[in-house]
Structure 1
Amino acid sequence: MGFIAFIVLGLLAGLIARAILPGKQTGSILMTILLGIVGALLGGWLGSVLFSAPLEEFFSIQTWLLAIVGSVIVLGIYGAVRGRNGRTA
């Protein structure tokens, strides 16, 4: 998968993860992109470790599910850490 496709995948996976997670999400669109990309990387890594299923094709349902699950995990951790520090937007 190309670099631009990976950024688009991370952006969309991050937006979907924001919609899935409950509560108010206060991060910017840039933060969503970055966390989505990190989440897509995490999802690809988890998929390759647990299921031997890396992120390969942009239009594969497996790729999207792994990226979204990874993004939900990363956004959940980010929200927990940010909430614990008492910061607000």
Structure 2
Amino acid sequence: MTTFYFVTQDSDCIWDDGEGCDLPDLMSAIAQAKNILAEMAADGIPQKHGERLVVEIAGSDKLPIVRLALLMEISYPAIQEEGGDHSQ
């Protein structure tokens, strides 16, 4: 078992639970991070273009290993065809 740490971030704050989670391997940690990200999205998805929900996985040394993000991208294909990028 390896200890992994999860740090979450949304448009308002960054939260580090400070408590590690013992998991068999990195793939298990990624699966856990996906579940955390899904729970965050259930509480509310990003509202503005470029906003994101992030879960960062750190190893037992607390150095980041993997980052998963859910990004809000709003585009206007009809306007872009007329010229210019009008993303919000």
Q: Under TM normalisation by the shorter chain, which class is it?
A: 0.3 to 0.5
Q: Which structure has the larger Rg over C-alpha atoms?
A: 2
* Larger RCO (CA within 8 A; separation ≥ 6): 1
Q: TM-score scaled to structure 1, two decimals? A: 0.34
Give the structure with the larger helix fraction: 1
